[in-house]
Amino acid sequence: MFLAKVQVSLKPTVNDPQGITIARALDRLGFDSVDSLRAGKYFEVKINGDDQSAAEADVKLMCEKLLANPVIETYSFELETI
Amino acid sequence: MFLAKVQVSLKPTVNDPQGITIARALDRLGFDSVDSLRAGKYFEVKINGDDQSAAEADVKLMCEKLLANPVIETYSFELETI
């Protein structure tokens, strides 16, 4: 069995009002070292099977079909055996 | 300057209807190897300064004060120099 940790974030050119709001809130809380913040999504997917390359291909396809919107988002993931 | 990549996920005992719905959608799309899925949040925070341990302490405090809800969520982060 594998655990895929998937990070999905907006492409750098896409406006991120949620991130801007959070960065402003951090500044108001006194964190003046924050330069900028981008908000995204995180998924932990448990995948049955023993074939690492098949699991990797599956996760890639999941990201492209459902987890991320490839028009405005990028994704990255790590796969670990559990 | 540092880049903190922060993952926030629900504690294992907390019900995650969003994750259950996404797992069901993946199953419907034909990904029958998916065992379970947990949904969370992801932040990329750019932090000014040269002091790695100060930046680390800052990110930890940000997570505890704003980015994560310590009652129901856990967080982890990696810091890289940029």
Handedness of CA B67, B74, B77, B38 (dihedral sign): negative
Superfamily of domain B2-81 in CATH is Phosphoribosylformylglycinamidine synthase subunit PurS (3.30.1280.10)
B18 CB-near residues (< 8 Å, 6+ apart): B39
Instruction: Please give, rounded to a whole number of angstroms, the shortest distance from the CA of A72 to a CA of chain B.
Output: 16
Where are the domains positioned within chain B? Answer: 2-81
Give B23's pLDDT tier (boundaries 50, 70, 90): very high
Contact A7/B at CB under 8 A: yes
Mean pLDDT for back-to-back runs of 10 residues, chain A (82 residues): 96 96 96 96 96 96 96 96 93
Please give the ipTM for the structure prediction: 0.91
Query: Nearest Cβ partner of B35 from A1, A7, A25?
Result: A1
B35 with A47: Cβ contact below 8 A: yes
* Cα–Cα dist B9/A2, whole Å: 18
Would an 8 Å CB–CB cutoff place B53 in contact with chain A? no
- For chain B, the distance separating the N- and C-terminal CA atoms, rounded to the nearest angstrom, is 6
Residue B43: exposed, middle, or buried by beta-carbon count in 10 A (0-12, 13-18, 19+)?
buried
pLDDT band, very low/low/confident/very high, at B18 (cuts 50, 70, 90): very high
State the pTM of this model. 0.92
Mean pLDDT of chain B: 96
Distance between CA B56 and CA B3 in Å, rounded? 10
